[in-house]
């Protein structure tokens, strides 16, 4: 039986003209849930705790390593014990994750084509993720995507991470583009919240994690099936606004 992909309302961008895009990593460019699961299970084995699963992990992805660890420890240890073991667990997890970063991942469809189309349309690109910076760099380089980005900001790069707008604003500053001429693209509410708080247009992808919640719960300027479709939406928007210019 052939299933028809769901259709969504056509995105309507709020930007006068788009000159840059800020793109999430986990759940947006790369499916990393199995990496997270493997790293967490390596950690849990050393803590003598019950294994986790991909199904559990995807509900926790997107808010940084600290949130991921706390979420996995919570159902396995009493609250005070989980807090006592947090620092130990985080250190073990980071060591385990470093061993397997990228080993159990896959690139989502049309990611490279979408990024190439965005760059070809003259947009500057930044990757802003809550993943630790060194792991993000390694993953982007593994898939040959790193050269496409002007800026990469990780969850440990600044004092705050998404959904705070700070990393989005920092990316704009580094690219020397105004936030109102930038689109934030991601798979979760954190991406949309951070983008909106920074004054950006937002586009949402439907295939990622979104903390286990339905993609329709995210308030954004629209849902696009792939990054390639996002590139087409942005190109059409810019063609319809040839004279518009965003002031820095």
HEC assignment per residue over 113-152: HHHHHHHHCCCEEEEECCCCHHHHHHHHHHCCCHHHCCEE
- Is 225 inside any structural domain? yes
- 201 token code pair: 């247009």
| 146 shares a domain with 37 | no
pLDDT at 205: 96
pLDDT at 8: 60
- Residue-level length of the chain: 248
CA 193, CA 183: separation in Å to the nearest integer?
A: 12
Q: List residues forming the annotated binding site.
A: 24, 26, 187
pLDDT at 161: 95
| 152 shares a domain with 82 | no
Residue 9: is its pLDDT beyond 90? no
Confidence of residue 243 (pLDDT cuts 50, 70, 90): low
| 152 shares a domain with 189 | yes
**Residue 58 belongs to a domain with what CATH number?**
1.10.150
* Catalytic positions: 24
Lowest-pLDDT choice from 45-59, 114-128, 207-221: 207-221
pLDDT at 2: 44
Q: List residues forming the annotated binding site for Mg(2+).
A: 24, 26, 187
How many domains does the chain contain in total? 2
Boundary of a domain, candidates 41, 68, 100: 100
Alpha-carbon distances of 175 from 123, 125, 164, 182, rounded to whole Å: 10, 8, 19, 10
| 149 shares a domain with 210 | yes
pLDDT digits (tens, 9 = 90+) for 131-140: 999 999 999 9
Residue 200: is its pLDDT beyond 50? yes
CA 27, CA 32: separation in Å to the nearest integer?
A: 7
pLDDT at 217: 86
Host H or E run for residue 43 = helix 33-46
pLDDT digits (tens, 9 = 90+) for 164-173: 999 999 999 9
pLDDT at 14: 73
| 207 shares a domain with 126 | yes
Tell me if residue 176 falls in helix, strand or coil.
Answer: coil
| 55 shares a domain with 27 | no
**Residue 158 belongs to a domain with what CATH number?**
3.40.50.1000
Cβ proximity of 150 and 125 under 8 Å = yes
| 44 shares a domain with 81 | yes
| 120 shares a domain with 88 | no
């Amino acid at each position: 039986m052939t299933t028809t992909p769901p259709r969504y309302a056509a995105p309507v961008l709020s930007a006068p003209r788009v000159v840059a895009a800020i793109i999430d990593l986990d759940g947006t460019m790369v499916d990393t849930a199995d990496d997270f699961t493997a790293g967490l299970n390596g950690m849990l084995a050393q803590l003598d705790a019950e294994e986790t699963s991909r199904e559990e992990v995807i509900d926790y992805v997107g808010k940084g390593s600290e949130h991921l660890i706390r979420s996995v420890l919570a159902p396995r240890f009493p609250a005070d014990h989980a807090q006592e073991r947090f620092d130990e667990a985080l250190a073990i997890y980071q060591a385990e994750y470093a061993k397997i970063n990228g080993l159990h991942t896959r690139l989502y469809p049309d990611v490279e084509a979408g990024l190439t189309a965005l760059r070809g349309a003259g947009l500057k690109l930044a990757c802003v993720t809550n993943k630790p910076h060194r792991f993000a760099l390694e993953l982007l380089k593994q898939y040959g995507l790193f050269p496409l980005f002007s800026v990469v900001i990780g969850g440990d790069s600044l004092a705050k991470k998404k959904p705070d707008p700070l990393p989005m604003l920092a990316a704009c500053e580094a690219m020397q583009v105004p936030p109102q001429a930038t689109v934030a693209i991601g798979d979760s509410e954190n991406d949309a919240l951070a983008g909106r708080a920074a004054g950006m247009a937002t586009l949402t992808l439907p295939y990622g994690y979104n903390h286990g919640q339905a993609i329709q719960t995210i308030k954004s300027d629209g849902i696009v099936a792939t990054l390639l479709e996002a590139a087409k939406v942005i190109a059409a928007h810019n063609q319809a606004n040839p004279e518009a210019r965003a002031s820095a």
